[in-house]
Structure 1
Amino acid sequence: MLDDASAIMTREVYSVTPDATIAAIARVLATHDISAVPVCDQSGVLVGLVSEGDLLRPFGESNRLRRAWWLSLIAEGNDLAPEFTDYVRQDHRQARDVMTTPVITAPDTATLPQLSDLLTRHRIKRLPILRNGRMVGIVSRADLVRAISQMPANTGERTEL
């Protein structure tokens, strides 16, 4: 039954360490076709999250047009601009320098309405799922939508999600 986080989460979660370079993080994101990667310390404890947005943030307002151009290339499936790939290769920052922290998480027993509330209230796209303080999976918006689509047809009763 699809009624809690453990039932809908992605269990195979790729992660990086706090000392992972920007190039290594970009490689993990691209290789596994994911938009963010958890950052875990040597003990496997979740300490942060690095998203595509975190990698692109240095191109901020002063380079807004250039960033929009690069994002359009990525969205259209084109090769990345050489200037961008050169920048990433020469960037000596590490995950600890760009990661979002603290990370919004949920327990593996969180219900679908609770997951939905966390995602929408915090305007985030994914939730690392914890059991006894350890990350055991991740739930994305797409996972939640997929679970909702598999729910039984409406019987006329209103179900809050």
Structure 2
Amino acid sequence: MNTDPGPRRARDLMTSPVLTVPPDAPREAVAALLVSHGIASAPVVDARGRILGVVDERHLVGADDEAPAAELMTRVPLADPDTPIDELVDHLVEGSRAIPVVREEVPVGIVSRRDVLRRVARGELVAHGERAAGPGAPVVVGVDGSEGSVHALRWGARAARAAGAPLHAVIASGPPDLYGTSSDQVRAARREIEETVRRALGEDATEREELTLDVREGRPARVLVRASEGARLVVVGSRHVDGVGGPPGGSVTAQLVSRAWCPVVAVVPVRPEETGERAGEDAAAVPAP
């Protein structure tokens, strides 16, 4: 039986070295490059090799003959060599034809839809499942500043204490653009996670040795999927439970259920009629199927 999990990171899947074009390359020259090498897109780089954008065959069809690559290119999501394959596939499904893999803004490879299909055809890309948590594996809690994440932190803290595990609070600062995530985004996310932790666990909570606060670049679902690798459990807040048979409400939870490396729990506020108290005074944990 083949137990090889296949490629897991961008570096395992990318084509390298990557063909690039300068910003002043004319449309005809770019088209000739793509056709001669049988590729659909190429990064546009400046004189120092730093990525400016990507030009692909869609941009060339119907464009002005005199238009240089700088006018034809568009910005696309970027990856680094350690980006999980699942994130790359998400971008490709959402519309990107190829994802440049960069190190310090310089393209070191590229992952295209064809690269993914080639591995699928060989049976080398397989769905992943849960991994056993090792010693010291944390309970990870997704934080977004909502009341739901306050309840999730409280529940996660109890679960971590019961298991003798560290508590790891994670917040997403938002997806980067071509120039990365701004320092303002990171500072705002840091304030948000610190304030939410204090609301949930007390004013001195951020000083606890067993608690780690982590601000990560990216969209919430993708950030938490990455954080789930090596975790004991991922806990998220939810406002409600969807219809019978569905996961607890929220697109982040739904994506986690299908992609996380460990069990996922959604903490749902108990309704007033169930507690006799105000809504949100208590919460119940619902294992996400």
**TM-score when normalising by structure 2:** 0.40
Report the Cα offset of residue 51 of structure 1.
0.9
State the one-letter code of the partner of 1:120.
V
Alignment of 1:10-159 (within 5 A): 10-58=15-63, 91-100=65-74, 102-121=75-94, 123-148=95-120, 149-151=123-125
Paired with 2:71 and 2:127, the residues of 1 have a C-alpha distance of: 47
Q: What are structure 1's unaligned runs of at least 5 residues?
A: 59-87
Name which one, 1 or 2, has greater alpha-carbon Rg: 2
State the one-letter code of the partner of 1:37.
A
For the structure 1 residues 154 and 106, does the alpha-carbon distance in structure 2 shift closer, same or farther, using more than 3 Å as the test? closer
For the structure 1 residues 111 and 24, does the alpha-carbon distance in structure 2 shift closer, same or farther, using more than 3 Å as the test? same
State the one-letter code of the partner of 1:111.
P
Paired with 2:127 and 2:40, the residues of 1 have a C-alpha distance of: 32
Paired with 2:128 and 2:46, the residues of 1 have a C-alpha distance of: 44
Report the Cα offset of residue 116 of structure 1.
1.1
Paired with 1:103 and 1:154, the residues of 2 have a C-alpha distance of: 26
Structure with greater helix percent: 1
Report the Cα offset of residue 139 of structure 1.
0.4
The superposition leaves residues 19-53 of structure 1 with CA deviations (integer Å, 9 ceiling, x where unpaired) of: 00111111101111111111100000010111111
Paired with 1:55 and 1:24, the residues of 2 have a C-alpha distance of: 10
Whether contact under 8 Å (1:8, 1:144) holds in the other structure is: yes
The superposition leaves residues 102-129 of structure 1 with CA deviations (integer Å, 9 ceiling, x where unpaired) of: 22111110111111112223x1111000
SS in 2 for 1:129: strand
Paired with 2:125 and 2:100, the residues of 1 have a C-alpha distance of: 23
Paired with 2:126 and 2:43, the residues of 1 have a C-alpha distance of: 33
**TM-score when normalising by structure 1:** 0.69
% identical aligned pairs? 33
Paired with 2:55 and 2:104, the residues of 1 have a C-alpha distance of: 23
State the one-letter code of the partner of 2:19.
Y
Whether contact under 8 Å (1:10, 1:138) holds in the other structure is: yes
Paired with 2:127 and 2:44, the residues of 1 have a C-alpha distance of: 39
Partner of 1:68: none
Paired with 2:99 and 2:73, the residues of 1 have a C-alpha distance of: 15
Partner of 2:207: none
Point out 4+ residue stretches in structure 1 off by more than 6 angstroms: 152-155
Whether contact under 8 Å (1:14, 1:38) holds in the other structure is: yes
State the one-letter code of the partner of 1:108.
P
Q: CA RMSD in A?
A: 2.5
Q: Which has the higher contact order (CA 8 A, sep 6+)?
A: 1
Are 1:7 and 2:15 counterparts? no
SS in 2 for 1:30: helix
